[in-house]
């Protein structure tokens, strides 16, 4: 009974997490703020608006001195992060296999033994087969192609801004 409850809690966590991420992304994409014209703002708020503009100009002057990374640098950093993520997952799978060979796991229904868990965490690059975690070359190639296409799409989006 305890095993079923913990797996239900893990499943509920992922469902709530994905729903929260989806709703935040939807809200960020669909939210269009409606700015009022300064003539429509009362005199009390117009003074505050001038103070905010002055503060923004001050911050802009301070930010000119700071390092402004280019879009190319940011996309390259994201790509390196994606590669490091894949490497970390491969090292984690290797560590899990070593622990399994040594017999440290007493619960066979662990979350990390489920195939869907590894699809979520490693995009299907690492999958459990025959009692141990294996590297899927087909899924790795598909993931790399997906990430490269995503990189090119992000370049186009950032250059159009």
Q: What is the pLDDT of residue 147?
A: 81
Query: Which of 120, 112, 154 has the alpha carbon at shortest distance from 139?
Result: 120
Q: One digit per residue, pLDDT tens: the chain, 161 residues?
A: 455 677 788 888 889 999 998 888 888 778 766 655 545 446 667 778 788 888 888 887 777 777 777 877 887 888 788 888 888 888 888 888 888 888 776 676 777 777 788 888 887 888 888 878 888 888 888 888 888 888 888 878 877 76
Contacts of residue 75, Cβ cutoff 8 Å, sequence gap at least 6: 151, 154, 155, 158
Q: What is the pLDDT of residue 25?
A: 86
Q: What is the pLDDT of residue 3?
A: 59
Q: What is the pLDDT of residue 160?
A: 73
Q: What is the pLDDT of residue 118?
A: 80
107 close to 3: Cβ distance less than 8 angstroms: yes
């Amino acid at each position: 009974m305890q095993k079923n409850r913990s797996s239900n809690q893990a499943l509920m966590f992922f469902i709530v997490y994905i729903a929260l991420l989806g709703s935040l992304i939807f809200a960020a994409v669909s939210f269009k703020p409606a700015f009022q014209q300064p003539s429509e703002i009362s005199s009390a708020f117009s003074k505050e608006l001038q103070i905010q503009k002055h503060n923004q100009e001050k911050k802009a002057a301070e930010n000119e001195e700071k390092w402004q990374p280019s879009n190319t640098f940011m996309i390259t950093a994201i790509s390196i992060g994606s590669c490091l993520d894949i490497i970390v997952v491969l090292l984690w799978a290797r560590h899990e296999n070593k622990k399994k060979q040594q017999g440290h796991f007493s619960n066979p229904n662990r979350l990390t033994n489920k195939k869907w868990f590894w699809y979520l965490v490693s995009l299907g690059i690492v999958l459990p087969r025959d009692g141990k975690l294996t590297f899927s070359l087909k899924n790795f190639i598909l993931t790399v192609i997906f990430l490269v296409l995503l990189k090119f799409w992000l370049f186009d989006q950032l250059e159009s801004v």
